[in-house]
Structure 1
Amino acid sequence: MIVQSLELKNYRNYQDIKMDFHPGTNLLYGDNAQGKTNALESIYLCATSKSHKGAKDKEIIRFGEEEAHIKLIVEKRGVPNRIDIHLKKNKTKGVAVNGSPIRKVTELFGILNVVFFAPEDLNIIKNSPAERRRFLDLELCQLDKIYAHNLVNYNKVIVQRNKLLKEMDGRAGWYETLDVWDEQMTSYGVPLIARRRAFVRELAGIVQEIHYSLSGGREQVEICYASNVSEEDFKKVLAKERGRDLKMRASLTGPHRDDIRFLINGVDVRHFGSQGQQRTAALSLKLAEIEIVKQRVKDSPILLLDDVLSELDGSRQNQLLQRISHIQTIMTGTGLDDFVEHCFHIDKTFHIENGNVVGGFNEQQQSGI
């Protein structure tokens, strides 16, 4: 899988730009706040329909403009596919694949598979459960359209159920309405739990092998799916805890409260691991994500690295670069010196300055890298 080109119009600080990428390693470099991450965000948006930052469409459109446009060409198994996304300030975004508009966002999933790795991902182990659930959801949505369908509908049900819980205040007839929402919660929630459990089980074996290698054979890592409720008990527990939900005016049972636990040599690394152990576990998780995509789609995903190398020590940098040498990588950094110093092979560079490509080179022009 190769991203051949990316065109942006009125996207954040980009007015009108086109980048043609190398099938190997591409580096976008320049000072901070020049637009490097924005380019990676646009590629991620073409894969998932969402910003990795959680930004709203209107926040992405260039200041003073009403619309933004992304055009991306991805080659998959030798066949080029074009993804067009129109972002509008006051309307739902428009998405087209090979010139044909799609009706549901889930139709976009799987056309372009990406793994996004940013410095904040190194904290995924120690941060809140919401971030680990987000990791599960974003990866599973790219790999499983049924999961994406269930997740979208489950989240809608949770919003409506919570709204009802907040507005009831003992009103006659409303209590029975919860039965309808509870039925839908379990209908969409049970397959979510089952799919997450299977995915974490699959992920665990790959992470274990990678982490063992990254730690020099000193650490064994385990990943456990910490579900808020089992598939079998969901409906029963939901009914049992209704009184608590009414009191707290929130839905406290279901996969929207799940987590993943990481154990290193039997110890919970989130609470008792060192920062180094937490970062190694996070790196293992992202590398395992690449392997799972490869196994599932029979192709390599696009790796988006947002200034991650600056956050890793030399050993982890080398481990990362060795494991991604066979897939297309689009990465950002503030300068070329670190790459030259460590003899990292870069096939093509783009010098980004204030939303423009002002320089760079390709592999034929390389000198010292």
Structure 2
Amino acid sequence: MLNQITLSNFRNWSSLHLDLTERSILIGPNGAGKTNILEAIYLLAVTRSWRAKSDRDLVGWQADVCRIVGSNPAIEMAIQREPYLKRIKIDGLEKKATEAIGHLVIVLFEPRSVDLVTGAPSIRRRFLDVLLAQVNQNYAKSLVELQLVLRQRNHLLRRIAAGQSQASEVKFWNQELVRNAEIIWQARRDFFVVAEDLFPSVYQELTGQNIAKLKYEPSIPAEHSYEERLEEHWNQDVDSGSTSIGPHRDDFDFILHGFDASGVASQGEARSLVLSLKKAEIKYLSSNMGKDPILLLDDIFSELDASRRARIESIIDNHQAIITTTDLEHLDPHLRESFNIVEIEKLKE
């Protein structure tokens, strides 16, 4: 359990020390800094923000460096704006970002989570990457290497199209692409073996209806050779100056009543699909990590009707949970009684 979080020059918090219990509610008006606290915890877990385009945006505007410190486990992160630098320590030992992921395990619920159903494939890939990087450090390392390889390969493709490089030069980058892609695809296939089996029953538990499925859509089938497919797409890749197939083109679908849910689901059904996915995510992390994730719930209760609020409360179960809200009336009285309530404005006094 994360016992404490300390912030220095992080977003709007010049200084904050907050003791956390197994269940905490952070209450305050919009703009008070509630979400910034969740963001800091998220950063300690996965080393990147789900909100900021750049780590530099996390540093308070009057400061050069921000710091986040969590205890149990002991994790510290410092971000310097200029020149840019990020340092992470676990139990006092400096770690690379890919080595730090997984020491603190989280699941995030936030209003835009419904975009998992209706949004672009990149949103769903981001979900997979955050989940699987926490479980598998090799996955996290291969993701980083994949992005580097794609940049180099795409740059070379543009040079080849301009007559400035030879086609033979791409062989090395193809090999590196295949090597990292296989690690990523294997982890994703392993997850969907579990998730595709688990998801229908989780959705039925939450809604009473057995009408939903998940379907993994890799950019190429597992039985196909990635190297051969890269050769088949060679002319297309050279013309476009980009790599048209690979893990960076994967997707997965929510299936509702036998159809792609992005086109048929109501807003309420989309929220139920996301809640089901989040519950499956929690189960997968608990099973594979040997410890329960911390649940970060950012102002989602105001977006839900009473029945879906009750479902969220059942998902919280025995996990450490940190909830933000602008109004306690959005929460069930029983839930309020079992949580430690932290008034954000009083933390600034």
Name the TM-score class by shorter chain: over 0.9
Partner of 1:8: 7
Q: Give the Cα separation in 1 of the matches to 2:163 and 2:125.
A: 34
Pair 1:160 & 2:137 matched? no
Q: Is the 8 A contact 1:45 1:51 kept in 2?
A: yes
Q: Give the Cα separation in 2 of the matches to 1:168 and 1:139.
A: 37
Secondary structure at the counterpart of residue 65 of structure 1: coil
Q: Is the 8 A contact 2:295 2:320 kept in 1?
A: yes
Partner of 1:339: 331
Per-residue CA shift, 1:299-348, capped at 9, x if unaligned?
Answer: 11100000011111111110110121211100100022333657643421
Residue correspondence of structure 1 range 224-239 to structure 2 within 5 A: 224-231=215-222, 232-239=224-231
> Which residue of 322, 335, 357 corresponds with 2:347?
357
Residue correspondence of structure 1 range 220-299 to structure 2 within 5 A: 220-231=211-222, 232-299=224-291
Partner of 2:28: 30
Partner of 2:311: 319
- Cα gap change, 1:169/1:129 in structure 2, threshold over 3 Å: closer, same or farther? same
Question: What is the Cα deviation at residue 8 of structure 1?
Answer: 0.2
Q: Give the Cα separation in 1 of the matches to 2:335 and 2:316.
A: 15
Secondary structure at the counterpart of residue 239 of structure 1: helix
5+ unaligned residues in a row in structure 1: which ranges? Answer: 75-80, 360-369
Q: Give the Cα separation in 2 of the matches to 1:344 and 1:193.
A: 42
Pair 1:99 & 2:92 matched? yes
Equivalent residues, number:
347
Partner of 2:79: 87
Q: Give the Cα separation in 1 of the matches to 2:309 and 2:84.
A: 42
Q: Is the 8 A contact 2:159 2:165 kept in 1?
A: no
Question: What is the Cα deviation at residue 156 of structure 1?
Answer: 0.9
Question: What is the Cα deviation at residue 168 of structure 1?
Answer: 3.1
Partner of 1:69: 67
What RMSD over aligned residues (CA atoms) do the two structures have, in Å?
1.6
Q: Is the 8 A contact 1:193 1:230 kept in 2?
A: no
Q: Give the Cα separation in 1 of the matches to 2:314 and 2:348.
A: 30
Normalized per residue, the structure richer in helix is 2
Identity %: 29
Q: Is the 8 A contact 2:301 2:330 kept in 1?
A: no
Q: Give the Cα separation in 1 of the matches to 2:341 and 2:335.
A: 15
> Which residue of 106, 109, 114 corresponds with 1:122?
114
Question: What is the Cα deviation at residue 173 of structure 1?
Answer: 3.9
Secondary structure at the counterpart of residue 219 of structure 1: coil
Q: Give the Cα separation in 2 of the matches to 1:108 and 1:19.
A: 22
5+ unaligned residues in a row in structure 2: which ranges? Answer: none
- Cα gap change, 1:262/1:337 in structure 2, threshold over 3 Å: closer, same or farther? closer
Question: What is the Cα deviation at residue 191 of structure 1?
Answer: 2.1
**TM-score calculated relative to the size of structure 2:** 0.95
Secondary structure at the counterpart of residue 31 of structure 1: coil
Partner of 1:364: none
**TM-score calculated relative to the size of structure 1:** 0.90
- Cα gap change, 1:172/1:19 in structure 2, threshold over 3 Å: closer, same or farther? closer
> Which residue of 191, 198, 205 corresponds with 2:197?
205
Question: What is the Cα deviation at residue 275 of structure 1?
Answer: 2.0
Q: Which amino acid aligns with 1:10?
A: N
Q: Which amino acid aligns with 2:51?
A: K
